[in-house]
Amino acid sequence: MPVTVGATDQALHRWADAMDRAAPELNRLDGQLGDGDLGVTLVKSATAVRTALDAGPYADLGQLFKACAMGCARASGSSFGTLLTLTFMTLAKRLEGRATLEWNALPAELQASLDAMSKRGGAKLGDKTVLDTLAAATNAIEGLLDPQAQHAAASAAVDAAIGHFRTQPNRIGRARMFAEKSIGLDDPGMIAFRHMLASLAGA
């Protein structure tokens, strides 16, 4: 069965709930290297996404993701909030008029989001950001057709990426000012992505 509008709606509700639960941990991690408000940002975004979903139903995936993008744009102007908005809007444009998405097409959609985030934020792979976990997940699911197999492969790849980058310094954003201090610490955005991925297990 392909990805449907209904399944995506349910997945985004789980995503929003996961952001609420993860917020204290993400604020703590972000406080070690940044402003300590990543969890706050994601709670605001989660609330906006729920509101957007409740305003449905939507005829296609493009409309659904566009509503989420507009909600996130209003909810938060932070750097991570902007990346979320950009991701949703990228998906909205690419999936306009499409009611379903085959699982084997998912890597291309993730890659498009990755490219858009990198272009907008200026980060590149290896900078120890959320992009590195997104890239790991995207590469891991290439060629896999079963959603459960995709999730298992992506989860393992993300865990491996987090473990690898834990020994590396942050190279972009506010955290780069504390590059040496960041060695041995997990990047908050990468941990946020792991929580996001875990929330999609039922997809």
Token pair belonging to 9: 């709606």
- Number of domains present in the structure of the chain: 1
Task: Determine the structural domain holding residue 195 and report its residue range.
Answer: 3-199
70: CATH = 1.25.40.340
Q: Supply the pLDDT for residue 40.
A: 96
Q: Which residues are paired to 4 by β-bridges? A: 100
User: DSSP letters along 119-159, please?
Assistant: HHH---TTSSSHHHHHHHHHHHHTT---HHHHHHHHHHHHH
For residue 201, what pLDDT band results from cuts at 50, 70 and 90?
confident
pTM: 0.94
Q: What digits encode the pLDDT tens for the residues 120-170?
A: 888 899 999 999 999 999 999 999 999 999 999 999 999 999 999 999 999
**Residue 66 neighbours by CB distance under 10 Å:** 20
Chain-centroid distance, C-alpha 190 = 9
